[in-house]
A and B are shown apart, each in its own frame.
Chain A
Amino acid sequence: AQSVTQPDIHITVSEGASLELRCNYSYGATPYLFWYVQSPGQGLQLLLKYFSGDTLVQGIKGFEAEFKRSQSSFNLRKPSVHWSDAAEYFCAVGVGNTDKLIFGTGTRLQVFP
């Protein structure tokens, strides 16, 4: 069965520090992978997606993610975190010919000044 694991429930970083959020997936075929961000009381905003091709994907707000098939991972990175990046981050895998997304449990990012 398809699944997504985000091992880190809560991460705290200082403003200006680099960031890496981990995501591992389980999916039988070529995965469609996504990272979404959710600010308190709001819906989900797409940061980036991977369908095929270049395994390093650039997204909005300076985020990037790298698809590693051998490790079943799709980790999100940012070289320098801003206080406004504090939010909940969700990794998701898309399923077949539907719009169904399977989400991980999320990682809450806290940024200290």
Chain B
Amino acid sequence: DAGVTQSPTHLIKTRGQHVTLRCSPISGHKSVSWYQQVLGQGPQFIFQYYEKEERGRGNFPDRFSARQFPNYSSELNVNALLLGDSALYLCASSPGVGVSNQPQHFGDGTRLSIL
């Protein structure tokens, strides 16, 4: 079975631009979470979506938004990019909601570089 897939693998943008990152969960998984991992740090939770509804949000500005589609895939959108948005963006999927439904399976991430 395919794992969590993310696209693109790498992306280079300039300040002020907009970016869309995509994630396909493991087949049968209905929950998708997004994390930001700045170089040298642990991942930080951005969003969780379950059954197309937002179930959790981390401490990120409104420039960050996400959505989940009927096939449970998800997009993360970031507007007005800043240099500080340079990071590895990880997507994780799990069967349902709640840590008892772990483990979350992570994709290999999208490396976003802002010039």
Contacts and interface: CB of A to CB of B under 8 A. Distances in A.
A103 B42 contact: yes
B48 A100 contact: yes
B56 interface: yes
Given A43-B108, A90-B42, A101-B45, A34 B33 contact: no
A100 B55 CA distance: 10
B94 interface: yes
A102 B56 CA distance: 13
Nearest to A51: B100
A71 interface: no
A8 B67 CA distance: 37
Contacts, number: 80
A98 B56 contact: yes
A55 B115 CA distance: 47
- State the main secondary structure of chain B at its contact with A: mixed
Interface residues of B, number: 31
Contacts of B48: 98-100
The range of chain A's interface size is: 20 to 34
A30 to B, nearest CB: 11
Given A99-B48, A99-B104, A43 B109 contact: yes
Interface in B97-115: 97-109
Instruction: Give the one of B40, B101, B104, B109 with max A CB within 10 A.
Output: B104
Q: Which 3 A-B pairs have the closest CB atoms?
A: A103-B42, A94-B99, A43-B106
Interface of A: 4, 32, 34, 36, 41-46, 49, 51, 90, 92, 94-106
20 contacts: A41-B108, A42-B109, A43-B4, A43-B109, A44-B92, A46-B103, A90-B43, A94-B99, A96-B99, A97-B98, A98-B55, A98-B99, A99-B31, A99-B56, A99-B97, A99-B104, A100-B33, A100-B56, A101-B99, A102-B45
